[in-house]
Amino acid sequence: MIESDQAGMLSALSQAQIAGSQDEVPVGAVVVHAGRVVGVGYNQREQTKNPVAHAEVLAIQQASRFLSSWRLVDCTLYSTLEPCPMCLAACQQARVQEVVFGALDPKGGALSLGYRLNEDLRTHHRFLARYYETPACSQILKEFFEKKRNSK
């Protein structure tokens, strides 16, 4: 059972560790409905050669299959990294209720870049997106990119 942001972030972090072990950017995501994890995902862009195989999108797809509904209205998505514009749009389209992320992405994060999709009155669904600072999420990314830079 996922009953707190901390538990949600720990679950997403375990997915990020899987991604990192496969030489993917270590980002993980989980979708929670009524305290239960209904979807999980980790970055798989390199191994699948699929540019949209982001952790958040994969978790949303799995949750949709599990719940037999593309609408994830009563769900929270936990991600280790601030969603990019594509992932934020996927959350909006899937009608995710809340997005919680553990590390900021000033170079590519949708909210850091100024996207306010969730506040736009023209959209059919608005959701809450919030930063729940989780140092372990920032640390796993820092270590991954340092390792990449040092191996060149």
Torsion of CA 7, 41, 130, 115, to 10 degrees: 170
User: In DSSP terms, which residues pair with 39 in a beta bridge?
Assistant: 31
Residues annotated catalytic, as ranges: 56
Asked whether 2 and 37 are in contact (CB, 8 A), the reply is yes
For residues 109-137, one letter each, b for 16 or more C-beta atoms within 10 angstroms of the residue's C-beta and e for the rest, the string is: bbbeeebebbeeeeeeeebebeeeebeeb
